[in-house]
Amino acid sequence: METKVLNTTAQHIDTAAEILKSGGLVAIPTETVYGLAANALNAQAVKNIFVAKGRAQDNPLIVHVTSIDEIKPLVTEIPEKVYMLAEKFWPGPLTMIMKKSDLVPGEVTCGMDTVAIRVPSHKVARDIISRSGLPLAAPSANISGGVSPTTAQHCIDDLTGRVDAIVDGGSCDVGLESTVILMCNPTPRLLRPGFITKEQIESVIGKIDVDDAILNPLKDGVKPSSPGMKYKHYSPNAKVVILEGDDKAYCDYVNQHADEGVFALCFDEDAKQLKVPCICYGEHKDEKTQAAKLFSALRSMDEKGAKLVFARMPKADGVGLAVVNRLLRAAAFQVINL
Ligand code: AMP
Ligand code: MG
């Protein structure tokens, strides 16, 4: 299949919307990562997303709309706390899971009775949803298991020949996927950390639960609250090992293991002390920049031919929790305490 690369002019946005209306697949920019969009109400189009990405058949998709009013037909009920969080964080990088209505095809939710919904803030994403007049199912626009895309080039690298179009809207501001929270339990449960932090959510709706799988590998035989938790994620070709320790311990360890093909995935301040090639992804205390740069950094390690990467463990506070969550998965939970 030929893959068109579109820009963000009104004419190209119309082209993207037309492709979506006719059941096609379009990679679109959002403030989190690029999403691979299809008409969420068209079961065949949704099935094609799974094929294009090589996504596991039991890993449900997030549906994107432009306002809370558009959610009403998609769910059986909107809990009060959803309104409270929507008021504060929508449009934005927060996904809320509610009980689904019959309108949402089982293909979107992989047979689950709940549906994940988000109202993105990115202008281009919103324009494409509005112009198509459709709710759009959109997982990250990468090959499943790999690193999520934060630029159109990442989508081109992964999906050329597999999708109808890719809309180039520049690089994504947040750079990590949305925060995901299950809203149909009496106490909402954080399933995936993101740019909207646990602390921010709790300041609006009070105490929430945090799923164990956020910072720990799933135990054998345990059914995950979110099917995506059980899959390998963000894995570059290089082997990634996270080192937990201060800057001196980190740099000493890396320098003692400075063999051919060894790279450092480190904070900006560490680079001058290291004897191996460094890929920096922000300053030590700047979790937002780390979030924005992590996925590009993981992709560039492979481009540069890294074999073994020692990553510095970020602090798991605020947005840092999301950075640690993604890095742990990229490293298949391999952590050395220094
Ligand atoms: P992605 O769109 O690739 O960022 O992944 C969406 C994430 O949301 C995956 O981890 C899914 O497993 C999760 N998710 C989507 N819908 C549901 C749902 N109804 N219940 C629980 N988790 C969900
Ligand atoms: Mg994904």
pTM: 0.96
- Residue 121 in contact with ligand 1 by CB distance below 6 A: no
Sign of CA dihedral 326, 332, 337, 338: negative
- CA 166 to chain centroid: 17
Q: Label residue 232 by pLDDT band (50, 70, 90).
A: low
pLDDT score at 315: 92
d(CA 198, CA 320): 11
Task: State what percent of residues in the chain have pLDDT above 70.
Answer: 99
Query: Residue 96: is its pLDDT beyond 80?
Result: yes
Quick one: average pLDDT of 137-143? Answer: 97
- Residue 184 in contact with ligand 1 by CB distance below 6 A: no
**How many alpha carbons fall within 13 Å on the CB side of residue 284?**
7
Indicate which ligand has the atom closest to the C-alpha of 189. 1
For ligand 1, atom 10: residue with the closest CA: 228
> Which residue spans of the chain are classified as CATH 3.40.50.11030?
239-337
R_g of the chain computed on alpha carbons: 20
- Residue 56 in contact with ligand 1 by CB distance below 6 A: no
Closest C-alpha to 30, from 158, 166, 147, 169: 169
- Residue 231 in contact with ligand 1 by CB distance below 6 A: no
Closest C-alpha to 62, from 144, 166, 140: 140
Query: Residue 217: is its pLDDT beyond 90?
Result: no
Taking the centre of ligand 1 as the mean of its atom positions, its distance from the CA of residue 268, in whole angstroms, is 33
For ligand 1, atom 7: residue with the closest CA: 228
Query: Residue 235: is its pLDDT beyond 90?
Result: no
Per the structure block, which two tokens stand in for 297?
């950094």
Quick one: average pLDDT of 295-318? Answer: 95
d(CA 229, CA 104): 22
Topology of domain 239-337 in CATH is Rossmann fold (3.40.50)
What are the distances in angstroms from CA 136 to CA 85, 195, 215, 329? 21, 21, 30, 27
Taking the centre of ligand 1 as the mean of its atom positions, its distance from the CA of residue 171, in whole angstroms, is 23
- Residue 309 in contact with ligand 1 by CB distance below 6 A: no
- CA 169 to chain centroid: 17
Please give the number of the atom of ligand 1 that sits closest to the Cα of 95.
8
CATH class in words for 4-214: alpha beta
> Which residue spans of the chain are classified as CATH 3.90.870.10?
4-214
More confident residue, 232 or 301: 301
Indicate which ligand has the atom closest to the C-alpha of 32. 1
Query: Residue 231: is its pLDDT beyond 80?
Result: no
Contacts of 274 (CB under 8 A, 6+ apart): 251, 254, 255, 264, 266
d(CA 178, CA 195): 7
Closest C-alpha to 235, from 298, 279, 192: 298
Q: How does pLDDT run across 52-66, given as a tens digit for each residue? A: 999 999 999 999 999
Closest C-alpha to 90, from 22, 181, 216: 181
Query: Residue 227: is its pLDDT beyond 90?
Result: no
Taking the centre of ligand 1 as the mean of its atom positions, its distance from the CA of residue 182, in whole angstroms, is 10
Query: Residue 218: is its pLDDT beyond 90?
Result: no
Task: Check: CB of residue 171 under 8 Å from CB of residue 151.
Answer: yes
